[in-house]
Amino acid sequence: MNFNGHDLSALDSLDVAGRLRWVADRFGGRAGIGTSFQRNGMLLIDLRCRHKLDGIQIYTVDTERLLPETYPFIETIDRHYGIRIDVLRPDAAEVRKMVDDHGLYLFFDSKEKQEHCCSIRKVKPNERMLDKIDVWITGLRREQSAFRKQTPLYEVLDRHGRPILKLNPLYDWTDERIVEYIRANDVPVHPLYEQGFASFGCVICTTPIRPGEDKRAGRWRWFNAVDDKKECGLHLPAPAVPETEAETD
């Protein structure tokens, strides 16, 4: 597979640091690591900073409802690595309209409205970043959930007629391998892990998991019995916009 004149098969034989350097050498200034600061993302941040790959941006999406421990952790990362993480936020007018139409807690009403809330608060800000870069680097791994078990190392996405490379350099790493790297390299760890969280999203929508539960079980728990596709939408096709109360009358 080729992307912008580059043979992507070269990525197959590289280690994670090599994959990041490959991107930085070819797309410096037009590549970004998107992260919510799980161990996966922190490993990528550490490698990017350790190898001085300054051409790769680091960004996160502040939905304005993140778990409170996340905000000071961003400052911890900035201090530890001497960097400034780019914090993206949702469009205020879009959030206001969504809340006016459906209420602040619309995510309880239906899967459709949960995905709409995620779209406004998280997916759209991320898409605005994707409009500015050529390579989107994620921490997706096959081991994270049944839905993600087919995660590829890379794929080329269509962004309104413009191709963009989505790179998942840790796609085949295990939890044990991730933790081993984190410990060996003194990488900052999000304090929510100690509270039993397996992923870090919004208040209410993210809870700790119990021993033996799927890693995504803590997301939108009220849907656990009916839906095992626990995704915010970043890695899914755009959801339909739910009708307002007025439109359904």
Give the CATH number of the domain where residue 134 resides. Answer: 3.40.50.620
List strands edge to edge, sheet with 154-159: 86-88, 56-61, 31-34, 135-137, 162-167, 154-159
Dmax over CA atoms of the chain, in Å, equals 60
Is 207 part of a structural domain of the chain? no
Is 94 part of a structural domain of the chain? yes
Token digits of residue 43: 């490993």
Is 210 part of a structural domain of the chain? no
Is 10 part of a structural domain of the chain? no
CB atoms within 10 A of CB 97: 13
> What pLDDT does 216 receive?
81
* pLDDT at 19 exceeding the cut of 50: yes
Higher pLDDT, 42 or 240: 42
CA atoms of 169 and 13, how far apart (whole Å): 11
Q: Which domain holds residue 32?
A: 15-192
CA atoms of 21 and 17, how far apart (whole Å): 6
Is 124 part of a structural domain of the chain? yes
Is 204 part of a structural domain of the chain? no
Specify whether 117 is catalytic. no
- pLDDT tens sequence across 89-108: 999 999 999 999 999 999 99
Helix (H), strand (E) at residue 165: strand 162-167
CA atoms of 85 and 203, how far apart (whole Å): 21
| pTM (two decimals) | 0.88
> What pLDDT does 225 receive?
59
**Looking at the 3D structure of the chain, how many domains does it have?**
1
Confidence of residue 217 (pLDDT cuts 50, 70, 90): confident
The dihedral built from the CA positions of residue 190, 88, 155 and 116, taken in this order, carries a sign that is positive
Please list the residues that pair with 158 across neighbouring strands.
Answer: 163
Is 93 part of a structural domain of the chain? yes
* pLDDT at 239 exceeding the cut of 50: no
Q: Which of 117, 202, 205, 232 is catalytic?
A: 232
